[in-house]
A = this chain, B = another copy of it.
Amino acid sequence: QIDSARLWGDIHETAKFGATPKGGVKRLTLGAEDKQVRDWFRAACEAAGCEVRVDALGTMFAIRPGRDMSKPPIGIGSHLDTQPTGGKYDGILGTLAALEVVRALNDAGIETDIPVCVCNWTNEEGSRYAPAMMASAAYAGDYTTDDILGRKDADGITVADALDTIGYRGADAVGKQKFSAFVELHIEQGPLLEAENKTIGVVDRGQGIIWYDGTISGFASHAGTTPMPLRKDALAAFSEVVLAVEKIARDHGPNAVGTIGEIKIDNPSRNVIPGDLAFTVDIRSSESNILDGLHSAIQAAVAEIAARRKVSIDVQQIWRKEPTVFNTTLVDAVEAATKEMGYSHRRITSGAGHDACNLAGVVPAAMIFVPCKDGISHNELEDATQTDCTAGANVLLHTVLALAGV
């Protein structure tokens, strides 16, 4: 069993790096607070006897040796970056529980056959740089390292510059660190486990995701002198796009969601009709064909709005992640560990994207979910109980024991 108090202490100790007044965490990837938590994490992994390696995209790999060093390690872990309105658990639980697994093995004097590698993946959240799960996508071969290094945040700072600024541009090539398998513990971020009173979600699928960057060009003009019928108001057109995306997602039923999270008017002013603006779109479903349906319906709606309002609207797909089907052998291993510990559980589909979804493309991967309060995540009020977090960490420990060989 893992040390529940130690895990809980670590979660609350690291929450000070980027703590917000409302009790959450704002720790954007590769920022000053991310450096602080990375330094803490490196020291803690080294104190637990691991060698810490960093790859060219800043992902951290802390390796606990096994008897057979010719076998690639069992990868465990998640991410330590957060949303701008993030909580204390999203990613953090999975990373610190992985560290706790290593400590528990140490405490019990257990040497595994296969090494164990605790991971902290760079930019899982996708808030500062797109796409989300950026480093694990590069790891899985979806992007070249150079492509990712050149991506810019809203202030024009590249990933390369941000890595250099915090000193986390590592020497290892992306993908150099191989795994025999990868298992990620995470809070559910949705309402199902809590509603059904289950402790563990055995994750067998993950939703597919498409991200878009959109722009609208109308015509900036005077709010007082431009008659209503003569306007080409980019914001009014945008408002129709928002409501169309919402309606289209609803019309596609419970296995579809659609969200517009960002909107920025160029040179906004109270008394200027918005002329140009930019926005983002996020659509998801666990079925590829529903994603296709959402995609076509949104493109058609946007074309209709643009034509009727005589503005130009451009909606560019910048990322498509197909739905994930996790490795059945590994999913069964998680379920067996859960049963061994006697926790209530159910199979579940992940609504969020995770690094494990990218890893699943190149190694056997699986995930463990624990409930979070009211299903709330990406909100400073995100919460989870010590009991559930401990249960999740124990399932992770026992899955590792089964996979790594004692």
Residue positions of A touching B, CB distance < 8 A: 26, 83-85, 125-127, 130, 132, 188-191, 207, 209, 211, 219-230, 233, 235-236, 238-240, 242-243, 246, 249-250, 254, 256-263, 265-275, 280, 282, 284, 351-353, 375-380
**A225→B188 contact, CB < 8 A:** yes
Given A284-B223, A351-B224, residue A267 in contact with residue B188 (CB < 8 A): no
Which one of B243, B265, B266 lies within 8 Å of A239 (CB-CB)?
Answer: B243
| Cβ contacts A to B, 8 pairs, < 8 Å | A84-B269, A132-B271, A220-B380, A222-B379, A223-B378, A239-B240, A261-B274, A272-B378
A256 contacts across to B, CB distance below 8 A: 228
A351 to B231, CA, bound (A): 15
A394 to B221 CA separation, bound complex (whole angstroms): 28
- Rounded to whole angstroms, the CA-CA distance of A282 and B272 in the bound complex is 9
- The answer to whether A262 touches B268, judged by C-beta atoms less than 8 angstroms apart, is yes
Tell me which residues across on chain B come within 8 A of A263, comparing CB atoms.
235, 263, 265, 268
User: Contact check: which of B209, B221, B227, B258 meets A377 at CB < 8 Å?
Assistant: B221
Q: Taking CB as reference atom, which chain B residue is nearest A227?
A: B254
Chain B min CB distance to A185 (Å): 16
Q: Is the CB of B378 within 8 A of A221?
A: yes
- Contacts A26-B267, A236-B242; A224 near B262 (Cβ below 8 A): no
Let me know if B272 and A261 touch, CB within 8 A.
yes
Given the interface pairs A228-B249, A275-B85, the reply to whether A376 lies near B221 with Cβ below 8 Å is: yes
- A84-B225 CB under 8 A given contacts A243-B239, A261-B274, A274-B261: no
In addition to A84-B268, A85-B266, A227-B254, 4 A-B residue pairs with Cβ atoms within 8 Å of each other are: A26-B267, A189-B225, A224-B282, A224-B284
B residues less than 8 Å from A236 (CB atoms): 242-243, 246
Q: Are B351 and A222 in contact (CB under 8 A)?
A: yes
Whether A379 touches B220, Cβ cut-off 8 Å, given contacts A246-B236, A261-B271, A270-B261, is yes
- Tell me, rounded to whole Å, the shortest Cβ–Cβ distance linking A96 to chain B: 20
What chain B residues lie within 8 Å of A266 (beta carbons)?
Answer: 85
Q: List the B side residues contacting A379 at CB < 8 Å.
A: 219-222, 272, 275
Are the C-beta atoms of B220 and A85 separated by less than 8 Å? yes
Q: Is the CB of A224 within 8 A of B189?
A: yes
**Inter-chain contact B239/A261, CB cutoff 8 Å:** no
Contact A190 B226, beta carbon cutoff 8 Å? yes
Tell me the minimal C-beta distance from A64 to chain B in angstroms: 32
